A = this chain, B = another copy of it.
Amino acid sequence: MQPTLDQSISLLARTPATLNALLRDLPDAFARQNEGGDSWDAVAIVGHLICGERTDWVPRARIILQHGESRPFDPFDMQGHVREIQGKSINQLLDEFVHWRNRNLIELRAWKLQPADLDKRGLHPSLGSVTLGQMLSTWAAHDLSHLHQLSRVLAHPYREPVGSWGQFLGVLQCSGHSATD
- Interfacial residues, chain A to chain B (CB-CB below 8 A): 1-3, 7, 10-11, 14, 17-18, 20-22, 27, 29-30, 33, 124, 127-128, 130-131, 133-135, 137-138, 140-142, 144-145, 147-149, 151-152, 154-155, 157-158, 160-165, 168-174, 176-178, 180-181
Contacts and interface: CB of A to CB of B under 8 A. Distances in A.
Contact of A152 (B135, B148, B162): B148
Q: Interface centre among A10, A18, A127, A130, by most B CB within 10 Å?
A: A18
A171 B181 contact: yes
Contact of A165 (B127, B148, B152, B160): B127
Given A3-B157, A134-B165, A162-B134, A170 B141 contact: no
- Which 7 pairs, one residue from A and one from B, show the smallest C-beta to C-beta distance? A170-B181, A170-B177, A17-B21, A137-B161, A134-B163, A145-B171, A141-B158
A169 B18 contact: no
A174 B148 contact: yes
Contacts of A165: 127, 130, 134-135, 137-138, 141
A170 B157 contact: no
A53 B169 CA distance: 17
